């Protein structure tokens, strides 16, 4: 079982602020890093899947980077909006088929 950690556990920001949070994972046997967005009362939805060291992905105001050598990924949100309020989950896949999720970062954006 991998130890995938996300920080912070929760975050309150003001509308318009940019923010970022971290996912850390063991760098040995790394295969892939997933980010999901999970709104209350809905299902998690995929944001990004990254595999290569130095990968950067972007979707609108949300972007992510990956450092497989040191075992971390950052998720950035530029100009946060109230609709960005959600729990952001990362998941790390080892070589093979297991995908281990972190505990999530709960983001609340105040208007």
The residues that touch other proteins, with contacts defined as CB under 8 A, are 1, 4, 31-32, 34, 36, 42-46, 49-51, 89, 91, 93, 96-104
Q: Which C-beta is closer to other proteins: that of 50 or that of 109?
A: 50
Token look-up 């105001």 returns: 61
Q: Which C-beta is closer to other proteins: that of 96 or that of 111?
A: 96
Q: Which C-beta is closer to other proteins: that of 71 or that of 93?
A: 93
Nearest distance from C-beta of residue 3 to other proteins, angstroms: 11
Nearest distance from C-beta of residue 43 to other proteins, angstroms: 4
The dihedrals phi and psi of 83, each to the nearest 5 degrees, come to -70, -5
Nearest distance from C-beta of residue 33 to other proteins, angstroms: 10
- Contact between 93 and 34 (Cβ < 8 Å): yes
Output the CA angle 16-38-10, nearest 5 degrees.
60
Cα 23 to the center of its chain, rounded Å: 6
DSSP summary character for residue 9: S
SS3 assignment, position 44: coil
Nearest distance from C-beta of residue 21 to other proteins, angstroms: 14
């Amino acid at each position: 079982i991998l130890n995938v950690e996300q920080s912070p556990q929760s975050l309150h920001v003001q509308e318009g602020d940019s923010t970022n949070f971290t996912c850390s994972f063991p760098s040995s046997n790394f295969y892939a890093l997933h980010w999901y967005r999970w709104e209350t009362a809905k299902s998690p939805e995929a944001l990004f899947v990254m595999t290569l060291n130095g990968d950067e992905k972007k979707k609108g105001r949300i972007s992510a980077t990956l450092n497989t050598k040191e075992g971390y990924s950052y998720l950035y949100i530029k100009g946060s909006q109230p609709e960005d309020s959600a729990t952001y989950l990362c998941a790390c896949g080892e070589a093979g088929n297991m995908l281990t999720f972190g505990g999530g970062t709960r983001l609340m954006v105040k208007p």
